[in-house]
């Protein structure tokens, strides 16, 4: 018998580098014009993400802002908020936002200028039947209520979609009754084996399967994994029906590559040997996640071995349904349900929850054998022939978790099975109604899981010598960043003189720094030998930290704050 399941839900997560870095500081002693000008070259704005008729400008002196002429086609604007000098400034449409920003940043009276970026509420797709998908988002009209308030029993998909809606580079195997790969809401997300030439009767990619263009049928041993039951197509739709395409429903992952692997016949029955072949096919042909919405009470060492091998070889994750017998799987004498109950770190076992955030009455549960719950009652998804239908079961819950895993993998392709499992389990919404029913005692929250794996902002450390003659010195970081801005603030005045650290050409993975007096005089008379520009790592959330310019042997220093966006 297998050992009790051990999970890594609470394992510490490594910090990850964000792709954008912002070093910021107090206004005194800043050289933001040079710093920002260097940081924004090339500028590059994404169309549709900012206002096109005005920008946001902060002037060094608001009185100057009111009195001075506004060059570059800018129109005098209204004060913005309570920050002195901050204004919304209209622009000349003929110049456009990018040109106006570049010009404004060269104006000595301007502290900074930026686009007025557009914001939006949580993303919801335009799929007409999305409002019926309560497991993804539950408006008050479609969910159970407590008094007049809806119960937040969904997985917060609309919030997660603000960060990622998926990527077709992520391949997910659907081991089931097949998939209707021609379904209008699935076709664009069906995996294609690009190493195979269709219809030539040759195993072009030498993987042991001839003309396996879109997966394989392990029941009938052919290259047509078409669904003749409906179960597999329903599962596939929850994972990855094409989102925001104006048709039908949305999958948890709007964009993903679904690999149909048929292991169940038209009656929903299959064999362990077919499943073993299918799992082997999946991880050897690029699938990083497999959904298994089936199982049984018979322990198969062979099935366990192939799942373990998939995890060890390629970091392959298996998401498995916990079963529909309403049993406590960990109770003495209670049969386990496999593969969900295998004690493997690359398996996530999923129970079903309902619209009231209760465990579904039919769902198996267990504080050791089950990891988390997900919506599994009255789930609307795709069915063969371009149709849609509602189904219930842990079979419907598991693909919610699989789709969530696909989103996480799209955000960070380096995540292996254990890290994916840790993020999914550790971020679940812990609920009194689900306490004791799983490792997490909670229900999937894909929005929180996304935050778990988003690259965490982190400043990279290092010290570089700055010569004592005021010349520019290049500081090179060990990562490349976009929109990098570096600024400094002198906090000690040697010999009564204010010193300014100047920064320029802050872009990519480097910037240049020099030190002068406030009057622009070289600091060659001040001992700066062996000094350095030191950038310690930021805090655990990457939101703040500090940096320090420290001349060796000197009683004064430059310091400021650091943050990352």
Residues assigned a catalytic role: 176, 231, 395
Instruction: Give SS3 for 432.
Output: helix
Start-end of H helices in 291-366: 301-314
Token pair in block for residue 391: 């189904």
Token pair in block for residue 181: 């790969």
Residue-by-residue DSSP string for 116-158: EE---SS-----TTGGG-TTT---GGGS-EETTEE---S--HH
Q: How far is CA 399 from CA 157, 320, 374, in A?
A: 13, 9, 9
Nearest residue to 89 via CA among 484, 69, 42, 32: 69
Q: Are 88 and 54 in contact (CB under 8 A)?
A: yes
Token pair in block for residue 384: 């063969």
Start-end of H helices in 285-385: 301-314
Cα distance between the two ends of the chain: 50
d(CA 301, CA 328): 22
Nearest residue to 287 via CA among 307, 271, 272: 307
Dihedral over Cα of 296, 301, 307, 311: its sign: positive
Start-end of H helices in 259-300: 272-284
DSSP 5: P
Per-residue b/e over 531-542, b at no fewer than 16 CB within 10 Å?
Answer: bbbbbeebeeeb
Give strand pairing partners of 497. Answer: none
d(CA 535, CA 23): 10
Neighbour count for residue 140 (Cβ, 10 Å): 11
Q: Are 143 and 260 in contact (CB under 8 A)?
A: no
d(CA 373, CA 400): 10
């Amino acid at each position: 018998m297998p050992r009790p399941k051990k999970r890594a839900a609470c394992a510490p997560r490594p910090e990850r580098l964000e792709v954008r870095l912002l070093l910021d500081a107090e206004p005194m002693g800043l050289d933001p014009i040079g710093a920002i000008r260097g940081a924004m070259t090339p500028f590059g704005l994404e169309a549709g993400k900012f206002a096109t008729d005005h920008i946001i400008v902060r002037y060094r002196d608001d009185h100057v802002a009111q009195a001075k002429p506004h060059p570059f086609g800018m129109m005098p604007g209204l004060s913005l908020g309570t920050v002195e000098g901050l204004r919304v400034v209209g622009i000349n449409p003929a110049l456009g936002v990018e040109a106006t920003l570049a010009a404004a940043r060269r104006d000595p009276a301007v502290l900074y200028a930026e686009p007025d970026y557009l914001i939006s509420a949580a993303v919801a797709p335009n799929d007409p039947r999305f409002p019926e998908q309560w497991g993804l988002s539950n408006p008050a009209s479609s969910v159970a209520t407590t008094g007049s308030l809806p119960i937040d029993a969904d997985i917060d998909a609309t919030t997660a979609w603000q960060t990622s809606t998926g990527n077709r580079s992520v391949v997910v195997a659907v081991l089931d009754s097949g998939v209707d790969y021609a379904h209008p809401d699935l076709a664009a997300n069906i995996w294609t084996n690009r190493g195979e030439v269709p219809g030539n009767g040759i195993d072009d990619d030498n993987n042991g399967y001839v003309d396996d263009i879109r997966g394989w049928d392990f029941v009938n041993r052919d290259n047509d994994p078409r669904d003749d039951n409906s179960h597999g197509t329903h599962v596939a739709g929850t994972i990855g029906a094409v989102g925001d395409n104006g048709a039908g429903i949305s999958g948890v992952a709007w964009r993903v590559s679904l690999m149909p692997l048929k292991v169940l016949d038209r009656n929903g029955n299959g064999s362990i040997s077919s499943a073993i072949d299918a799992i082997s096919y999946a991880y050897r042909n690029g699938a990083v996640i497999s959904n298994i919405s089936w199982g049984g009470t018979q322990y198969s060492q062979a099935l366990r071995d192939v799942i373990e091998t998939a995890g060890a070889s390629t970091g392959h994750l298996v998401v498995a349904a916990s079963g529909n017998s309403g049993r406590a799987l960990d109770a003495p004498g209670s049969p386990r349900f496999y593969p969900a109950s295998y004690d493997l770190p690359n398996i996530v076992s999923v129970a079903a929850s309902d619209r009231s955030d209760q465990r579904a009455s039919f769902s198996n549960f267990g504080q050791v054998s089950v990891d988390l719950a997900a919506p599994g009652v009255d789930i609307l998804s795709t069915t063969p022939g371009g149709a849609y239908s509602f189904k219930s079961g842990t079979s419907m819950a598991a693909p919610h978790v699989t789709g969530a895993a696909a989103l996480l993998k799209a955000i960070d392709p380096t995540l292996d099975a254990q890290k994916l499992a840790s993020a999914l389990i550790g971020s679940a919404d812990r609920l009194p109604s689900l306490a004791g029913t799983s490792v997490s005692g909670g229900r999937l929250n894909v929005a929180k899981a996304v935050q778990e794996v988003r690259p965490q902002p982190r400043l990279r450390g290092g010290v570089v010598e700055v010569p004592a003659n005021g010349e520019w010195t290049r500081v090179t970081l060990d990562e490349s960043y976009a929109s990098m801005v570096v600024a400094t603030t002198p906090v000690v005045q040697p010999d009564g003189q204010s010193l300014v650290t100047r920064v320029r050409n802050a872009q990519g993975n480097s910037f240049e720094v020099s030190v002068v007096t406030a009057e622009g005089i070289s600091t060659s008379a001040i001992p700066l030998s062996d000094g350095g520009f030191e950038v310690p790592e930021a805090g655990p959330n990457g939101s703040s930290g500090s940096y320090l310019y420290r001349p060796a042997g000197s009683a004064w220093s430059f310091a400021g704050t650091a943050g990352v966006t």
